[in-house]
Structure formats: C-alpha cells, structure tokens
Amino acid sequence: MMQTKIVYIAPYFWPESIGSAPYCTDLCAWLRAKGHSVEVIAFRPHYPNPDLFAAWSDGSRDREVRDGLVIQRIKTRGRGSGGLRQRLLNDLAFLAGVLRYSVRPALSKPDVIAVNVPSCLSLFGAALLSWRTGARVVGIVHDIESGLAASLSIARRGLMLRLMRLIEYLAFNCASELIVLTDGMAAEIRDIGYRRPITVLPIWSSLFPEKARSATAAPVPVVSYSGNFGKKQNLDQLLPLIRMLDERRPEVKVILRGDGSERARIEALVKQLGVTNTSFLPLVAADELGEWLQSVDIHLIPQAMNVANYALPSKLFTVMAAGGPFVCVAEQGSPLDQLSHNSGAGLCVRPNDDEALFSAVIQMLDNREMLAEMGQRGRSFVRANMDRDKILKSYEERMFGSRHGRVAGEQPSLSTV
C-alpha cells in the first residue's frame, strides 16, 4: 500500500494505559511501522488520574516525537466527577484544540484524518481540516455518548438527549466512513441517522507468554477487578459479592485495581461493609501486566445496565489473551454475554442476581480444571479471531477506502468472527 500521511485525532493516547488509549497508540505505531507518516492530536495525558502524568502537566511536552510518531498535545480540563457538564467542557476544550490545529497557516496536507470517538465533537474539527486539505475523514467509534448518557442517567430522556443525538447525527455525517466495534453499535448509529458506510472491526489483542495454571487449589484464591472506576462499569454490582465472600469464603482475597471518578466512593462503600477481604491497588505497570493478569484466579468484568450497544469493555480481551478466566455481569444477548458463550472462556451473570454471581465465582474457584480449560479457550479465541496484524491491516485498508473490511450486517457479529 502507498505510504501516506495520517492525522490521527484521539483524546486519549500514550502514556495512558487503560480505555481506548492503548488501542489508539498501538494502531498508530503499527501504521508508522508500515511506513506511513502519522501525526497525533491528543490531550495531555490525564486519564484516569492526572497525578500519574505530572511530567506533561506544564505543557513542556505539548509537542513530542515518540518512535517516529509526532504527538501534538491539547491542554485538558480533567474529567472531574465524570458528570455531563464536566465531560462536555472537556470535549469542547479538545474540539477547540483540534480547530486551532486545523487553521494553522503552515499546514501540511494529510491524506487521511482518522478520529477516535469517545467525543464525536472531534469530528467537527476533522471536517474543517478536511475542508482545508481535501483529506478523507474516517471515524473510529468506541463509545456512543448519547446512549451512555441515557443508560447511566447522566442525561435524562428529553430535550438534552435529543440535542445530544442531533449533535451526533451532524458529527457522524462529517465522516466518509465509520468503523465500530460491534454490530449493536452499528445499529445504534444507523438509528441516529448515519447512512454512509459502517465497518465492524473487533478489538485486537496479542497473546501473552503462556503460564500453566496449577491443578491444585491456590493457597490464597484471588478474585479481581482491574481498570477504570467509572459509571460504565457500575462497580456497585460487586459489593454484594464482596460481602458474601467475606462471610462465606473468607479465604478468598478480592483486589480492586485501578483509578477513576468512582474510586473514592467505592472505597467508602467497601469500608462501610466492614469486610477484611478487599484491598485497593493502583493500576499495574504495562511491563508487569501479563504477570499480574495470570496471577489472578478469576477476573470480574461488570457492565452497567443498558450500555451494551454503546461501549465495550476492551479489558476483557487482554484478560483472555493472558489466559485469564472471567465472570462478567451483563444482560442476556449483550456482546459480553455472546462472547462468554461463544468463547467458553468465562461465565456471564445477569445484573442484580447477587446469588448467581457468588455461585459462579465459587463454582469456578472450586474447580481448578475448569479454570485451566477456560484460560485455554480464551487464548484460543483470541488467536483465532483477534489477530493483531490481520485486524490492523483491515483498519489500514478502511482508512484508504479499500472495500476489504467487513461492512455491518454482512457477516456474523464480533462473538463469531
């Protein structure tokens, strides 16, 4: 494929290590390794906690080069409590930064403008850059904000929600094509009113070096949640499990690892339970991630009600790539439910069924052979369906208009790709 210049607009990027940032970073690094020139427009790193990125806070690294990637940084207002007003102000700050980039007098012409969407407002900035340069705009949608806002009661149904959907309609239609993670997301975007091509491409993953699981009971069984402490995860769902484990299986250790707007509240609620089985830790360093994931007996993947078509917890694929068994909390028929069933790598429990969640965890902890088999199935599923080079090659082809990617509805959904 011809070597070209790509402007990649992504609020979250390296060195952030959770959410969409690792995937944006990996895609850009892959494109650069293929010989493309890649310039990234991103926020100063701040997610999930700005204290982790003090080296960037003063703006001295607002332009830097890393492994051939040119990165332009935009000052952030921070995510605060994650409420609608704070998120909107942050999204507007990012849009303003993209617009400033787009009106620069000395502007080299890109061939493609790729926009990672949790913030659809970035597409308006991409549209201005496209107007000035003639470059094609491709949106990569990881979140649909109107759906999340309604599901999480951030925006009640009514005028605010209709306004959000109108903005999404206008923003999405700034793109020549959209790439989404699941068929459900594609259907939601069609419902918003986007009529141009949509391609469904799953998250990719690379297998970690394999570590065999012991056939004997672990001296201290560990159940863990790792990642962002946010509203999409609804970590309140884990509180009854923590209490039940403390009362009925006190030998089981629960580790909640990560950061985010909900962490302080969840810590306070766990303290109120009066349990002694739960500890909180920061995010693990990237070079220690595989070892950490393989040290955990069961990974917990909770998802808030009604958000299945608007966001996908990408952490699950990293868990599977490490051979980690999991229990997720998600609605019947959701992508998480389908993935659990089709991969055989974990169990899925319906929301608000506390006894079922406890039973699933205990059933797995008491059967080391089951844990080992689930871990192997997860690795096999990743190997067969989430090959990094194959999927990233499809991203490259979609960006440049090739018709080799899967258009929504033409083939089975993520869980059976």
Q: What is the pLDDT of residues 236-273, one digit of tens each?
A: 999 999 999 999 999 999 999 998 888 999 999 999 99
**pLDDT band at residue 416 under the 50/70/90 scheme:** very low
pTM of the model: 0.83
Q: How many domains are contained in the chain?
A: 2
Q: What is the pLDDT of residues 33-85, one digit of tens each?
A: 999 999 999 999 998 888 889 999 999 999 999 999 999 999 987 665 556 67
The residues, ordered by sequence, that sit 6+ positions from 283 with a Cβ below 8 Å of its Cβ are 17, 18, 48, 226, 227, 257, 258, 259
Task: Clarify whether residues 348 and 399 are in a common domain.
Answer: no
- For residue 15, give both structure tokens: 């060195």
**pLDDT for 400:** 86
Task: Clarify whether residues 403 and 372 are in a common domain.
Answer: no
Name the percent of the chain lying above pLDDT 70: 88
Residue 95 lies in a domain: yes
- Do 310 and 152 contact (CB within 8 A), yes or no? no
CATH code (residue 91): 3.40.50.2000
**At residue 371, does pLDDT exceed 70?**
yes
**Domain span at 228:** 222-384
- For residue 242, give both structure tokens: 């923590």
Q: Is 229 exposed, middle or buried (0-12, 13-18, 19+ CB in 10 A)?
A: buried
Q: What is the pLDDT of residues 385-395, one digit of tens each?
A: 999 999 999 99
**pLDDT for 406:** 43
- Average pLDDT over every residue of 393-408: 70
Q: What is the pLDDT of residues 200-213, one digit of tens each?
A: 998 898 899 988 77
Mean pLDDT value across the chain: 87
- Average pLDDT over every residue of 361-381: 95
**pLDDT for 116:** 95
**pLDDT for 410:** 38
Rounded Cα–Cα distance for residues 312 and 297 (Å) = 23
Residue 226 lies in a domain: yes
Least confident of 14-18, 113-117, 265-269: 14-18
- Do 114 and 7 contact (CB within 8 A), yes or no? yes
Residue 40 lies in a domain: yes
Task: Clarify whether residues 192 and 268 are in a common domain.
Answer: no
Task: Clarify whether residues 40 and 71 are in a common domain.
Answer: yes
Task: Clarify whether residues 132 and 274 are in a common domain.
Answer: no
Q: What is the pLDDT of residues 148-192, one digit of tens each?
A: 666 655 555 578 788 888 999 999 999 999 999 888 889 889 999
**At residue 372, does pLDDT exceed 60?**
yes
